[in-house]
A = this chain, B = another copy of it.
Amino acid sequence: MDRPLQIDELLCFSVYSVNHAISRLYRPLLAPLGLTYPQYLVLVALWDRDKRRVNDLGTELQLDTNTLTPLLKRMEAAELLTRKRNPEDERSLIVALTDKGRNLQDKAGEVTSCVLEAMGGDIEELSALRDRLNALRHKLEQQ
Contacts and interface: CB of A to CB of B under 8 A. Distances in A.
B21 A141 contact: yes
Contacts of A20: 62
Interface residues of A, number: 53
| Main DSSP-derived SS at the A contact region | helix
B139 A118 contact: yes
A3 to B, nearest CB: 10
A60 B133 contact: no
B118 A140 contact: yes
A14 B56 CA distance: 18
A120 B132 CA distance: 12
Contacts of A139: 118-120
